[in-house]
Copies of this chain bind each other. A is one copy, B any other.
Amino acid sequence: MTIYDKLTLAWRNQNSLVCVGLDPDYDKIPVKFKRGQQPYFDFCCAIVDATAPFVCAFKPQIAHFAAVGREMELVALLAYIKDKYPHLLTILDAKRGDIGSTAAYYAKEAYERYGADAVTLSPYLGFESVAPYLAYADKGIIVLCRTSNPDSDWLQNDNSDSIPVYQRVAARVAHWNREGQCMLVTGATYPQELATVREIVGDMPLLVPGIGAQGGDLAAVMNNGLDENSMGLMISSSRGILYAGEGDDFDGAAARAAEALKNQINGYR
């Protein structure tokens, strides 16, 4: 099964375009998990169990584990999702980008060590830096195109360029996408650029962060980003779901936030 097949099935069967970002912040993890040996794993599994009915994908962010030496909990988390929710996509959010010989090691990290279905990458070093990932036929890459943060126009979208960088990235990634493994990151905070990207890449899946804490406009995202089948988007939310509630009901609050986002999104489809 290709990554597009898996994602399309998840979109259809879950009737959801929601991706939950797993960005565990120790200070916000409920106290009961901190008594155990694997607070990051236990907290994220509880979030996964609570929100799985309402999502198409989970996206653990690796720095939140690596900063504190918790890689083994991330390995366990991805294995847990794969075992219990094999129909949902797993995305390792790592934004890697290096020359080919090193990219092969990063691909091994993402796909073999962690077993993720897809990984986020930077386009800065060009095709050489993504080729080793594409050698994994059943896996996907999600390349940064137009990021959600405010301070990147000077590089990604400079008016004086004949073709802005984010559009060049979109066109290049579409060109690299011979086997249907490529996707793009396009932030919800720039819905007009999202429309342009959609025109360039056809029905390529887009991962859309920036809803919630970053203030993206969901209505505009949906209007500009859906593909012809009213799919094509993974709308990612992290903090808005992980920390929707505090105390004992954190998982109930997370489930309600995920379901509410799913329904809100589906209201625009």
* Residue ranges of A at the interface with B (Cβ–Cβ < 8 Å): 23, 61, 63-64, 66-69, 71, 75, 95-103, 105-106, 108-109, 112-113, 122-129, 144, 147-156, 158, 160-163, 165, 168-169, 172
Tell whether, in the assembled complex, residue B122 and residue A97 are in contact, meaning their CB atoms are under 8 Å apart: yes
User: Given known contacts A168-B155, A168-B158, is B68 in contact with A71 (CB within 8 Å)?
Assistant: no
Select from chain B the residue with minimum beta-carbon distance to A213.
Answer: B101
Tell whether, in the assembled complex, residue A168 and residue B152 are in contact, meaning their CB atoms are under 8 Å apart: no
Least CB distance, A112 to chain B, in whole angstroms: 8
Tell whether, in the assembled complex, residue B102 and residue A63 are in contact, meaning their CB atoms are under 8 Å apart: yes
Tell whether, in the assembled complex, residue B144 and residue A124 are in contact, meaning their CB atoms are under 8 Å apart: yes
Least CB distance, A234 to chain B, in whole angstroms: 17
Neighbouring B residues of A144 by C-beta, 8 Å: 97, 124-125
Tell whether, in the assembled complex, residue B99 and residue A148 are in contact, meaning their CB atoms are under 8 Å apart: yes
Tell whether, in the assembled complex, residue B122 and residue A150 are in contact, meaning their CB atoms are under 8 Å apart: no
Tell whether, in the assembled complex, residue B149 and residue A99 are in contact, meaning their CB atoms are under 8 Å apart: yes
Least CB distance, A178 to chain B, in whole angstroms: 16
Known contacts A67-B109, A97-B97, A100-B149, then 19 further A-B pairs from the complex at CB < 8 Å, ordered by chain A residue: A63-B98, A64-B105, A67-B113, A68-B113, A99-B147, A123-B155, A124-B152, A124-B155, A125-B147, A125-B151, A126-B149, A126-B152, A126-B154, A126-B155, A127-B151, A128-B149, A128-B150, A128-B151, A158-B168
Neighbouring B residues of A106 by C-beta, 8 Å: 63, 66-67
Tell whether, in the assembled complex, residue A124 and residue B126 are in contact, meaning their CB atoms are under 8 Å apart: no
Task: List 5 A-B pairs, minimum CB-CB distance, nearest first.
Answer: A126-B151, A63-B105, A126-B152, A67-B105, A67-B108
User: Given known contacts A99-B147, A147-B99, A168-B154, is B124 in contact with A124 (CB within 8 Å)?
Assistant: yes
When chains A and B are docked, how far (Å) is the Cα of A68 from the Cα of B108? 8
Name 5 interchain pairs, CB-CB below 8 A, sorted by A.
A67-B108, A99-B148, A125-B144, A125-B151, A125-B152
Least CB distance, A162 to chain B, in whole angstroms: 4
Within 8 Å by CB of A109, from B61, B66, B108, B126, lies B66
When chains A and B are docked, how far (Å) is the Cα of A220 from the Cα of B102? 26
Neighbouring B residues of A161 by C-beta, 8 Å: 158, 160-162
Neighbouring B residues of A122 by C-beta, 8 Å: 95, 97, 122, 124
When chains A and B are docked, how far (Å) is the Cα of A129 from the Cα of B169? 19
Select from chain B the residue with minimum beta-carbon distance to A66.
Answer: B109
Least CB distance, A130 to chain B, in whole angstroms: 10
Least CB distance, A154 to chain B, in whole angstroms: 6
Neighbouring B residues of A172 by C-beta, 8 Å: 154-155
Select from chain B the residue with minimum beta-carbon distance to A107.
Answer: B67
Select from chain B the residue with minimum beta-carbon distance to A172.
Answer: B154
